[in-house]
Structure 1
Amino acid sequence: EELLQAVRKIGSEEALDALQLRLPAEAYEGLFLVAAGDSVNQVLQARETRVDQTIDTSDFAAALATAESQSRFVVVDDDEAMLAIMNAPLAQWRVFLHPTQNKLARGDRSGPVRVLGGAGTGKTVLAMHRAKWLAENRALGGKKVLFTTFTRNLALDIEENLKTLCSADAMSRIEVKNLDAWVGGFMRARKLEHRIVYDRKQDGALQAWQSALATKDATLDVPDSFYSDELEQVVLAQGLTTLDQYRTARRIGRGVILSRAKRDAVWPVFEEYRGQLASRKLKEVDDAYREIAEMIATEQGSELGYAAIVIDETQDFGPQALKLLRAMIAHGPNDLFFVGDGHQRIYSRNRAAMSRCGIDIRGRSRKLYLNYRTTDEIRRQAVALLEGCEIDDLDDGHDESKRYKSLSHGPAPEVRKTSGLEEASQAAIGFIQQWRSAQAENESLSFCVVSYSEKSRDALGQQLQAAGIASVPITAQSNHADARNVVHLATMHRAKGLEFDCVIVVAPESYLGPAEETAGQRRLLYVALTRAKRGALLLQV
């Protein structure tokens, strides 16, 4: 009764936060969502909670079966599961799901599902639990669940966490591979000799591109960068292979209007480029996605053996990647499960609309609002960086962040201007030493210095080593997740999907220029800053 009176007096988010410690967690979360615009019925339905249900306080088995209890407790069914839990590092105790997440992780779905959520809302953990449920309940007759994501680093991290979460039997029915690794394996199995081009500025791909540009029509007043952007954002993204297709292609957002005659003059550059690549046995990655999807479609009856596909970091996949994923499994119940966040789209060339790629999520789209990783102070600072930037919902719509909320609190992150990398490194060293001196006796905080390039990352690492602070770089080969008492070093792209107690972000001052000109850089800063769980420092150089 006393709490009810206090709740009725709440008139602002600050007043709700002041009452947080006195409220049950479910009540606090529900009140926040109501304040953000949800109805009471929506909150209860998302949790599958009945307010008219009688609770038997002596029936412990029934109590443990509720979603609220399962968000706090795990019931161990056998010695193998107990051993896995007891031997897991603290960072891998990812066995607890919020009731809303638990509902999404379990049960059958009539088709593709999309789950949106800001950084720290537990999307990847939810995806892992979904893969576990599918492996245990729907991967029958020798079929497997494919769990895929964009980068190799994240795939390795997910696989290690799944091994902690799943029994050996369930794990034997889950295949974890980033999509490019899957494509490479498919090509080798079919004895396809082409190598994939990921960087057009290197080796044979660069020579092919330069040869193609040499054929451009000199009467067209457009720079070389126009051809590169047109190739990525129109030709490769839409899978255009003929002049007729290019003549009618959508070019929204490209800025330069092209008449039919100009399109006819531009197209030979792209045709020449593909010819030059073919002579070198090279292929652009989007063309590889498209051609493999076509191969799978023509080989009717030759299934790939997947009962379901779970996709993490969906915002990083372009149209051809999504079309390939659609082709890899037949339409049906539980076929595709996507999680992603438009706030974290750091590969702008890969923007795609799911519905345009044959993926129908109507009636099967959900959103996570509660941040379990980052303090609300860090979350607010990160969201503020995106003010003025358009955020999409991965399907031609817009996303918003007003409902997002962090449940933990801590010091507000500091944003500081420095004169260069040397001063930034000294600020980073001071930040690390301050947090280490304040940590508890048996506590070992994790740190990561996130920088804007490999060169700046390595320079910062040298400064840390000179100050007696051991460091290790995160590379494509390893996250060094087991490294202890060291400071991790990462580029903003490599830090994606990881988390640390404290993060120092080092970025050029230009990254915070006008929002309409720096949306991509601001998203990188958002991703980098939200790797932090407890403390963060943003240094401009």
Structure 2
Amino acid sequence: MTTNDEETKTAEETTPETATEKAKAAPKRTRTTKAKTPKAGKTTKKAKEGDAPATPLKERHLVLSREVLTASARLTGKPKQIFSQFVMRFRRGVEYPRLTLPGASVYERIVLSPDLTVVLKVFGDLVVLLWAGDEASAANWADSHRCEVNPHTGDLQVYYANLPGAAASTVVPAPDASVPRVAPEAVEEPVEKVQHTDAETDGKASTDDGRAGSTSEAGESKASKETVPAPLFASLTDADLMELGLPDELLADLRSLTSAEEFEACRTHFPQPVFEALTWLLQGEARESVLEAYGEAARRTRRAEFARTAPDTPTGLDPSHFHVVASDEELRDILDRPLEEWRVFLHPSQREIVEKAWYGPVRVTGGAGTGKTVVALHRARHLVRLPDWKPKDKVLFTTFTKNLALDLAVQLKTLCSKIEANRIQVVNIDAWLATFVRQNGGGREVAYPGAPGSPYELCWEAALERRPASIDLPESFYRSEWEEVVLPNHCMSSRDYFQAPRAGRGQALSRAQRRDIWPVFEEMRAQLQLRDLMTVEDACDFAERVIREAHPSGLYRAVIADEIQDFKPDMLKLLRALALDVSKLETPIEGDLFLVGDPHQRIYVKPVAFSSCGIQIRGRSKKLRVNYRTTDEIRKTAESVYARGAVDDMEGGTAEKTGYASLRHGAAPEVFAADSFDAECDWIADRAKALAHDPKAPLDYSEMCVVLRTRSDVARYEEALRNRGIQVCSLKAESADDPELPGLRTATMHRVKGLEFKAVFVAGMNEGVFPLPAPKGADAPARRHHERLEKALFYVSASRASQRLFFSASGKPSRFLPKAK
């Protein structure tokens, strides 16, 4: 990014208001003619032949920084209105008097009112707005921040100035020993322990060696470090640091750091991408990998992609920190709506995924809080904005649960224009399937397992009456055999069942035993047919066959699926049929499948490989690794439930247990084991009230949520909290959360999937309540699968918190209840 000196200013630069004041102050004349303001590019009717026409306004290349949007979001009343009007007019080319504002860098300021000053800086033909507030806050911001182009990378950077104490963070990382974790023995998986104990031990040793040396090495070097502390980033050369974007004047400061705590305390002292890269090094990432992801090669790749997708966007602007305004409509949209940074700013790794020209199915994975859903939402908008998007083209944006689909629809309306939103159909996969079956299935409907007395369960009760007396198997075995063998393999006859694979089933069956138990499943199908019902699996298979025959190119140009880890195999096959397969086109276009998920959050189904469902990723897989939601302390507690046992990667392999970083720190999660239910509720109420009345940073009750395992637990705790003077708002599965409704949120662990709160209370962690015990009679594989689902619920619940996390129990604590070291 090239720079010029400050933009030329003249004394004649005036606003319409100052021009009026000058006209009033001019000497009066005997005869005056009231002048009309000419339109841009035109002259008045009475203009003389020799008069020069009015100079038309020239639009500015306006850039909004993250700081100015954050500051402007705090404006209210008249200052907010003045700022919005100023930004719109300033972009169009209207001049305002500018004054030099000395600070850590040389800035300019525009005084809009006694209570509102805007700080800006000019780089060539770019005008970057950096701050908005009263005169004192503007001066303070300018004194404490530098805004310069890095000579090594060409990137525009904003960071705290090199002043004593200016960058000291008020948040001190909690000592690692104080962060509670689930005991490893509490989440042990016996079968996997026998098979993989050595590998796990070796892997752990390798991780320790890669990060900070082995335990023995740490002990041996402890004495020497106490006398001569080693530099924290000794493995990086000065040239490495310059390539990562470290400003020259901060090199000495970085070299003086000797501990991770010192580094974290100075996080705002460094540009955000630099801090992020160095954080990965501290977490054990290899030097070569960090340079590959954040060095010159990565910048060249990103800039080449941006040049293709946004040729008018200047290079050297970090999209996670700066936003180039493309139109008045976009600017008005940003200013008029509440500040939600995810709508405006994308991390470079996110933007690369969103705007890349993908020609085939794409898989995006990442831990909780890494912005997977944000990427999916922006990808949807990117697609419908493509130049070759035709009126008939549509995007299906689907997910597994109804409540998440409702939340996504609200977020898309925030992100997209009305025209763009109309090109995107948002619906959960079950609702889409039910509608298709009603319209094309000859009067049949989809039936779902549910409460006793539901149509599906009545059919199952009738089927169980056909159980053979000669085979002593529990009811749970028949149910799991139906759900894991018969339905996925679409067994419609005994012959189909005899040939169906049963890999992973704990109970072996002979051919004769299969023959004897088949009448149970045959009766289930007969009962469903009598009621004109179809299972989800059969409905997906039916819809796939109809679509492939009637619409071989699919019903949608693109299908985006969030929380893909919870989709059943038949659902994945259906998605493949719904989306245009661009590999079959002579000239590929953007579209096809965009699949987003996290196997650590699988709370409904067993693992399945995409390739077995006809979805070929083949090199189109991306992983998001930076956690934007939670503090590092919360992340450690949430991930501790996966200390033992493997998690699949949705392609038949094993996903990493680590590889994510949280760049923020905060208080360690709190744990309370009460003697009674009343004592537990007293503790929750006291903590919630303390957060709501915090003199420094109070939270609204709507920013907190009490999470429980079952609906009956939710009702019980709601009543107790109301009795303690706290207004409660229950989150239901059939409706989205309305942030305008007051009250402390309560929800089940399944309901909070996809949501975020500043404070989360995971309550009722009693033995026998959470984790719930496996179904009676379940075999070893079924018990192991059940345990993994309960682990996922713990991870989902804990990772909903962005600032504070609390756990509580009454009576006998759950083995999942975290403990500090």
Q: Deviations over 1:414-465 (max 9, x none)?
A: 1222345433322211111111121547864611111111111111111222
- 2:298 pairs with 1:42: no
What is aligned with 2:681? 425
Q: Deviations over 1:380-404 (max 9, x none)?
A: 0000122213211112111113211
Q: Deviations over 1:138-197 (max 9, x none)?
A: 532411111111111111111111111112221121111111111122123326422222
**Aligned residues of 1:47 and 1:99 also touching (Cα < 8 A):** no
- 2:572 pairs with 1:315: no
**Pair 136,539 (structure 1): closer, same or farther in 2 beyond 3 Å:** same
- 2:533 pairs with 1:282: yes
What is aligned with 1:102? 351
Amino acid at match of 1:119: A
- How far 1:10 sits from its partner (Å)? 7.2
The correspondence of residues 374-453 of structure 1 with structure 2, limited to 5 A, is: 374-438=630-694, 440=696, 444=700, 446-453=703-710
Equivalent-residue separation in structure 2 for 1:68 and 1:218 (angstroms): 73
Amino acid at match of 2:545: E
Counterpart among 543, 549, 553 of residue 292 in structure 1 = 543
The correspondence of residues 41-80 of structure 1 with structure 2, limited to 5 A, is: 41-44=291-294, 48-50=298-300, 65-66=314-315, 68-80=317-329
SS for the counterpart of 1:518 is helix
**Aligned residues of 1:310 and 1:337 also touching (Cα < 8 A):** yes
Equivalent-residue separation in structure 1 for 2:658 and 2:368 (angstroms): 14
Equivalent-residue separation in structure 2 for 1:513 and 1:177 (angstroms): 30
Using the TM superposition, name which of 61-70 and 309-318 deviates more: 61-70
**Pair 300,157 (structure 1): closer, same or farther in 2 beyond 3 Å:** closer
Counterpart among 266, 275, 279 of residue 32 in structure 1 = 279
What is aligned with 1:56? none
The correspondence of residues 204-353 of structure 1 with structure 2, limited to 5 A, is: 204-301=455-552, 303-304=554-555, 306-332=556-582, 333-347=590-604, 349-353=605-609
**Pair 11,114 (structure 1): closer, same or farther in 2 beyond 3 Å:** farther
- 2:792 pairs with 1:539: no
Equivalent-residue separation in structure 2 for 1:257 and 1:11 (angstroms): 59
Using the TM superposition, name which of 295-304 and 161-170 deviates more: 295-304
Using the TM superposition, name which of 245-254 and 147-156 deviates more: 245-254
**Pair 424,300 (structure 1): closer, same or farther in 2 beyond 3 Å:** same
The correspondence of residues 143-158 of structure 1 with structure 2, limited to 5 A, is: 143-158=393-408
Amino acid at match of 2:705: C
- 2:362 pairs with 1:113: yes
Counterpart among 142, 161, 178 of residue 428 in structure 2 = 178
SS for the counterpart of 1:50 is helix
Amino acid at match of 1:29: E
What is aligned with 2:57? none
Equivalent-residue separation in structure 2 for 1:301 and 1:5 (angstroms): 63
The correspondence of residues 351-370 of structure 1 with structure 2, limited to 5 A, is: 351-370=607-626
**Pair 499,62 (structure 1): closer, same or farther in 2 beyond 3 Å:** same
**Pair 253,42 (structure 1): closer, same or farther in 2 beyond 3 Å:** farther
Gap regions ≥5 residues in structure 2: 1-247, 304-309, 583-589, 774-782, 811-821
Gap regions ≥5 residues in structure 1: 54-60
Using the TM superposition, name which of 517-526 and 108-117 deviates more: 517-526
Using the TM superposition, name which of 190-199 and 319-328 deviates more: 190-199
- 2:754 pairs with 1:523: no
- How far 1:521 sits from its partner (Å)? 1.4
**Pair 88,242 (structure 1): closer, same or farther in 2 beyond 3 Å:** farther
Percent of aligned pairs sharing the same letter: 39
Amino acid at match of 1:322: L
**Pair 92,263 (structure 1): closer, same or farther in 2 beyond 3 Å:** farther
SS for the counterpart of 2:630 is coil
- 2:751 pairs with 1:494: yes
Equivalent-residue separation in structure 1 for 2:699 and 2:690 (angstroms): 14
Equivalent-residue separation in structure 1 for 2:678 and 2:296 (angstroms): 50
Counterpart among 724, 729, 732 of residue 472 in structure 1 = 729
Using the TM superposition, name which of 465-474 and 334-343 deviates more: 465-474
More contact order relative to length (CA 8 Å, sep ≥ 6): 1
Equivalent-residue separation in structure 1 for 2:628 and 2:681 (angstroms): 29
**Pair 303,441 (structure 1): closer, same or farther in 2 beyond 3 Å:** closer
What is aligned with 1:58? none
**Aligned residues of 1:147 and 1:310 also touching (Cα < 8 A):** yes
Normalising by the residue count of structure 2, what TM-score does the alignment of the two structures yield?
Answer: 0.61
What is aligned with 1:23? 270
SS for the counterpart of 2:344 is coil
Amino acid at match of 2:431: A
SS for the counterpart of 1:438 is coil
**Pair 105,162 (structure 1): closer, same or farther in 2 beyond 3 Å:** same
**Pair 248,86 (structure 1): closer, same or farther in 2 beyond 3 Å:** same
SS for the counterpart of 2:557 is strand
SS for the counterpart of 2:611 is helix
Using the TM superposition, name which of 151-160 and 191-200 deviates more: 191-200
**Pair 403,191 (structure 1): closer, same or farther in 2 beyond 3 Å:** closer
- How far 1:232 sits from its partner (Å)? 1.4
**Aligned residues of 2:568 and 2:608 also touching (Cα < 8 A):** yes
SS for the counterpart of 2:352 is helix
Equivalent-residue separation in structure 1 for 2:460 and 2:763 (angstroms): 33
Q: Deviations over 1:470-507 (max 9, x none)?
A: 11111122233233441111100011001111111114
Equivalent-residue separation in structure 2 for 1:13 and 1:368 (angstroms): 23
**Pair 521,242 (structure 1): closer, same or farther in 2 beyond 3 Å:** same
**Aligned residues of 1:385 and 1:525 also touching (Cα < 8 A):** yes
Q: Deviations over 1:230-250 (max 9, x none)?
A: 111222234333433332333
Equivalent-residue separation in structure 2 for 1:271 and 1:154 (angstroms): 35
Normalising by the residue count of structure 1, what TM-score does the alignment of the two structures yield?
Answer: 0.91
Equivalent-residue separation in structure 1 for 2:370 and 2:294 (angstroms): 19
- How far 1:227 sits from its partner (Å)? 0.8
**Pair 51,357 (structure 1): closer, same or farther in 2 beyond 3 Å:** closer
Larger Rg, first or second structure (1 or 2): 2
SS for the counterpart of 1:367 is strand
Equivalent-residue separation in structure 2 for 1:216 and 1:382 (angstroms): 43
Equivalent-residue separation in structure 1 for 2:270 and 2:654 (angstroms): 33
**Aligned residues of 1:44 and 1:50 also touching (Cα < 8 A):** no
**Pair 69,302 (structure 1): closer, same or farther in 2 beyond 3 Å:** closer
Equivalent-residue separation in structure 2 for 1:526 and 1:417 (angstroms): 20
What is aligned with 2:335? 86
Query: What's the Cα RMSD here?
Result: 2.8
**Pair 210,12 (structure 1): closer, same or farther in 2 beyond 3 Å:** farther
Equivalent-residue separation in structure 2 for 1:206 and 1:288 (angstroms): 18
**Pair 143,150 (structure 1): closer, same or farther in 2 beyond 3 Å:** same
Using the TM superposition, name which of 142-151 and 510-519 deviates more: 510-519
**Pair 457,66 (structure 1): closer, same or farther in 2 beyond 3 Å:** farther
**Pair 62,285 (structure 1): closer, same or farther in 2 beyond 3 Å:** closer
Q: Deviations over 1:503-532 (max 9, x none)?
A: 111143333699957322121011011111
Equivalent-residue separation in structure 1 for 2:697 and 2:274 (angstroms): 34
Using the TM superposition, name which of 384-393 and 34-43 deviates more: 34-43
- How far 1:46 sits from its partner (Å)? 11
Using the TM superposition, name which of 527-536 and 416-425 deviates more: 416-425
**Aligned residues of 1:212 and 1:269 also touching (Cα < 8 A):** yes
Number of aligned residue pairs: give it. Answer: 532
**Aligned residues of 1:85 and 1:164 also touching (Cα < 8 A):** no
Amino acid at match of 2:634: I
- How far 1:45 sits from its partner (Å)? 7.8
